[in-house]
């Protein structure tokens, strides 16, 4: 399993679907969030940094901004953990 993100690309915010592979235990929490109506977005900022979010019904649950490198994995884990706490989803 992989976690689906909607990616917004420069320069015009064109949308595409991407997946980010994470360990199975984190993916399980992410899919529990998706079942509750959450979705994940990612976009590259003009600074070269990556912004990742988890949202539900127009509300921002978590955001992480990081370099587009190995720190993305930790950022994905962070937004999932924060969102799970807010949505009553048990963290692993």
Per-residue pLDDT of the chain (92 residues; tens, 9 = 90+): 699 999 998 888 899 999 999 999 999 999 999 999 999 999 999 999 999 999 999 999 999 999 999 999 999 999 999 999 999 999 88
Closest to 6 in 3D by CA, of 47, 36, 51: 51
Q: Which residues pair with 56 in a beta bridge?
A: 38, 59
Q: What is the pTM of this model?
A: 0.93
> Which residue shows structure tokens 């600074």?
47
User: What is the C-alpha separation between 24 and 41, in angstroms, rounded?
Assistant: 20
């Amino acid at each position: 399993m992989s976690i689906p993100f909607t990616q917004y690309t420069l320069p015009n915010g064109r949308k595409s679907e991407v997946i980010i592979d994470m360990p199975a235990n984190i993916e399980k929490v992410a899919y529990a969030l998706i079942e509750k109506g959450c979705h994940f977005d990612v976009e590259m900022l003009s600074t070269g940094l990556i912004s990742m979010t988890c949202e539900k019904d127009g509300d921002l649950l978590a955001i992480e901004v990081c370099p587009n490198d190995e720190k993305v994995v930790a950022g994905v884990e962070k937004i999932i953990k924060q969102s799970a706490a807010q949505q009553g989803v048990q963290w692993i």
